[in-house]
Structures are given as structure tokens and as C-alpha cells.
């Protein structure tokens, strides 16, 4: 169990540190925020800090818990508990994740009886439920019974992108900790140091990741993502204002075929969530909307520091000179509408054909 650095979530870390120091930790936490915001890292950090033997010994010697002994949610990283938690082999710290498309009732039932047992080695028996919003309704009702009568030496941590997908009674029994995207400048500096990147590359990854360090970490070594991205961008540039409906329809068909192949390869090869996302027709349309947004921003402000697709700045300059802000705005809206239609089960081929015809034929 690798413990990645927690970037840009100082408020959440300090909040949990204060609660642990006060001796009044909640029996259950709901950590929620976008994918890549650091939810799992924070949950693991809390499990470490709660069970570190040196931290407990220092607190006992001082007469009580000490907030921020060295850093908020401090842990030594060397005691048996820390080593086992970090390696993912501690018997009292477990992670529940979706099996297939969902977390099923059988998984929560197993957690229910195991968490009721006394800890083997740790101070607090800790269960982390990843992607908790993917629990079935039966699993949620089973979990609710655990939250209503939690064992005294247990800690349950739910991780979610969308807590609204869970029963309100579950959220109400958890202490909520929200994680947000962080500033591009801070994330860029972190990416430079963490992955030994050039400043320009670090800023590109921070921008494409929308301020989410987990996504930066993925994209830093994900060549396939950029191959698919460049294929989408080159197709859009070829079609835009080509004034040829046949060319637009042929490009639409070709791109859909290429996306299907990329998606299948990512699934078979264990590709990243970012590759799976961008290889879907919805993800491709979202990327197109971002491209048209760049054209719009550059055409009305001339400020290249606001551009998302920084590695394509020469192409963006060229394309922005070919049209008016109103055109780029209309394209961006059309791409977003197409993405939304696809999420609502629209036919991918028909939806993409319509989008590409709008790009090709200037009204």
C-alpha cells in the first residue's frame, strides 16, 4: 500500500489532525471529491497516524495526544504497524473496492462481521470503502446497520466522488471531509519536483488534470493518453471549416473506429481511467469542447497563459485566426451538447456525424 504525498489539501489534513489530537475522532468519515484529488492518500494517512506505535507512545509520555508532532497526521513509517499498513498487509486495515461494476452486499457483510472482532495488532480497526457511491442499495442498507452501532475500536472511511448517489442516512452518520482541486501554480511546482519535469511540461499536466494531483501522477507516465488526444485534435482540425460534408462524415466514422480500438486496448491492457475516459465518444467530445474553448479565449483575449492545450499553441494560434469568437463559442456549446446527448444514450455515430457536419459547414 503505497502512501502518496497529499498535495494541496492542508485544511482537510489539519481538520483530521485536530480531531485525532482531541481524542474525539468520529467512528466514520466520508471523504469526497473529484477523482485524483487525493481521497485514498488521505484515508491511508489517517490509518497510519491512528495506528503508529511511536505516535501513540509519544502521546502517552506527554500526557495526551499531540497535534502536529512533526507534521499533521504524523506517523513514523518505521514501526511494525506503519510498515504493514504501508505495504498493504496489515490485518486490521482493509480496503473494500468494487467487484466489477459495484460493491456488493456480500463484501459489506464480510466487513460487518470482521470489524466487530477485536483488533489483532492495531489500535483501531480501519476499513476504507473505495468508490462508496458504487455500493448497491442492499450493500448500503447493510453498511447503515454498522454505522448505527459501530464497534468502539473501529474506523470506517468512505471515499466517494458523488455522495449524492448514496443514501442520505449514510452521509448523515459520517463526518464529511471535502477535497477540492488545487491551484495550477501549486500543482505545477509539485509536478516539477515529484516527477522531475520541465516547467512547461509540468504546467501542461497540471492544466490538463484540472488541478487534481492524482491525474497528474497518471498522465506523467501515460503516453497512450496523449496518442489518443493528438488523434482527436488532428481530426477536429482537419474537419473544421473544410466545407465538405463527405469528408466530415468520413472523419466521424474513422474517429469512432479509432476510439473503439483505443478503448478496447486500454481495457485489455489495464489502461488508466484517463485513457478510458478520453477514448469514449463522450470523453472525445469533452476534449473537443476544451479545444474550442482555447480558440475562443485566444481570439477574444490574446492571452496565451489562459490556454489549456499549451503543447499545441502553434496550432491554436493558426486555428484562432481562421474564425470569429462567436463561431468558436458555438462549436464549444455543440461539443458539450453532444457529450451530454451521448451520456443520455444517444447513438454515437449519429451524434458524432451531426457534430462534425456542424464543424465542417460554415453557416
The domain segmentation of the chain, as residue ranges, is: 10-178, 222-360
For 314, the enclosing helix (H) or strand (E) is helix 313-320
Specify the CATH class of 10-178 in words.
alpha beta
Q: What is the pLDDT of residue 2?
A: 53
Residue 67: what pLDDT?
44
Yes or no: say if 46 and 16 are a contact pair by the CB < 8 Å rule.
yes
Nine cell digits for residue 251: 472523419
Q: What is the pLDDT along the chain (363 residues), one digit of tens a residue?
A: 455 578 889 999 999 999 988 888 999 999 999 999 999 999 999 999 999 988 765 554 444 444 444 578 889 889 999 999 999 999 999 999 999 899 999 999 999 999 989 898 988 999 999 999 999 999 999 999 999 988 888 999 999 999 999 999 999 999 999 999 999 999 999 999 999 999 999 999 999 999 999 999 999 999 999 999 999 999 999 999 999 999 999 999 999 999 999 999 999 998 999 999 999 999 999 999 999 999 999 999 999 999 999 999 999 999 999 999 999 999 999 999 999 999 999 999 999 999 999 999 976
Contacts of 57 (CB under 8 A, 6+ apart): none
What pairs with residue 125 in β-bridges?
154
Confirm if 117 and 150 have CB atoms less than 8 A apart.
no
State the pTM of this model.
0.86
CB-count exposure of residue 150 (10 Å: 0-12, 13-18, 19+):
middle
Q: 264-295 pLDDT, tens per residue?
A: 999 999 899 999 999 999 999 999 999 999 99
Model confidence over 26-47: pLDDT tens digits?
999 999 999 999 999 999 999 9
Taking the CA of residue 360 as centre, how many other CA atoms within 13 Å lie in the half-sphere pointing to its CB?
20
For residue 161, give the nearest of 1, 40, 48 by alpha carbon.
Answer: 40
pLDDT at 72: 86
Grid look-up 490538463 returns: 208
- Buried b vs exposed e over 210-238: b needs ≥16 C-beta within 10 Å? ebbbbbbbbbbebebbbebbebbbebbbe
Q: Going edge to edge, which strands form the sheet with 93-96? A: 93-96, 125-129, 154-160, 28-32, 175-178
Rounded to whole angstroms, how far apart are CA atoms 53 and 59? 10
- Residue 59: predicted pLDDT: 53
Residue in 214, 215, 166 with CA at minimum distance from that of residue 28? 166
**Strand 125-129 versus strand 28-32 pairing type:** unpaired
At the top level of CATH, the class of 222-360 is mainly alpha
CA 111 to chain centre: 25
Evaluate whether 102 touches 134 at the Cβ level (below 8 Å): yes
Kindly list the distances between the CA atom of residue 158 and the CA atoms of 8, 32, 188, 277, 356, in Å, as whole numbers in the listed order: 20, 8, 29, 24, 42
CA 175 to CA 156: how far, in whole Å? 10
Q: Are 266 and 228 in contact (CB under 8 A)?
A: no
Q: Bridge-partner residues for 30, per DSSP?
A: 158, 176
Amino acid at each position: 500500500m503505497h502512501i502518496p504525498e497529499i498535495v494541496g489539501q492542508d485544511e482537510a489534513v489539519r481538520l483530521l489532525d485536530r480531531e485525532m489530537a482531541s481524542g474525539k475522532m468520529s467512528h466514520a468519515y466520508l471523504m469526497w471529491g473529484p477523482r485524483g484529488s487525493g481521497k485514498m492518500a488521505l484515508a491511508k494517512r489517517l490509518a497510519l497516524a491512528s495506528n503508529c506505535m511511536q505516535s501513540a507512545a509519544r502521546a502517552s509520555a506527554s500526557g495526551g495526544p499531540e497535534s502536529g508532532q512533526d507534521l499533521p497526521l504524523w506517523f513514523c513509517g518505521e514501526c511494525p504497524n506503519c510498515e504493514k499498513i504501508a505495504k498493504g498487509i496489515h490485518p486490521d486495515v482493509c480496503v473494500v473496492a468494487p467487484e466489477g461494476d459495484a460493491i456488493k452486499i456480500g463484501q459489506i457483510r464480510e466487513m460487518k462481521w470482521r470489524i466487530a472482532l477485536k483488533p489483532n495488532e492495531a489500535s483501531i480497526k480501519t476499513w476504507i470503502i473505495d468508490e462508496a457511491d458504487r455500493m448497491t442499495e442492499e450493500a448500503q442498507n447493510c453498511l447503515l446497520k454498522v454505522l448505527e452501532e459501530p464497534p468502539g475500536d473501529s474506523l470506517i472511511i468512505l471515499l466517494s466522488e458523488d455522495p449524492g448517489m448514496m443514501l442520505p442516512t449514510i452521509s448523515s452518520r459520517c463526518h464529511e471531509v471535502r477535497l477540492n482541486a488545487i491551484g495550477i501554480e501549486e500543482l505545477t511546482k509539485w509536478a516539477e519536483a515529484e516527477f522531475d519535469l520541465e516547467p512547461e511540461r509540468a504546467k501542461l499536466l497540471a492544466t490538463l488534470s484540472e488541478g487534481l494531483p492524482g491525474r497528474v501522477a497518471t498522465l506523467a507516465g501515460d503516453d497512450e493518453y496523449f496518442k489518443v488526444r493528438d488523434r482527436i485534435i488532428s481530426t477536429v482540425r482537419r474537419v473544421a471549416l473544410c466545407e465538405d460534408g463527405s469528408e466530415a462524415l468520413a472523419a466521424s466514422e474513422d474517429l469512432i473506429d479509432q476510439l473503439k480500438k483505443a478503448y478496447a486496448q486500454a481495457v485489455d491492457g489495464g489502461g488508466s481511467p484517463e485513457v478510458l475516459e478520453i477514448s469514449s465518444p463522450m470523453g472525445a467530445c469533452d476534449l473537443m469542447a476544451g479545444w474550442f474553448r482555447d480558440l475562443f479565449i485566444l481570439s477574444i483575449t490574446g492571452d496565451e497563459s489562459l490556454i489549456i492545450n499549451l503543447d499545441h499553441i502553434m496550432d491554436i494560434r493558426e486555428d484562432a485566426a481562421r474564425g470569429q469568437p462567436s463561431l468558436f463559442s458555438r462549436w464549444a456549446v455543440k461539443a458539450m451538447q453532444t457529450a451530454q446527448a451521448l451520456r443520455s444514450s444517444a447513438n454515437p455515430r449519429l451524434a458524432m456525424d451531426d457534430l462534425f457536419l456542424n464543424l465542417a459547414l460554415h453557416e
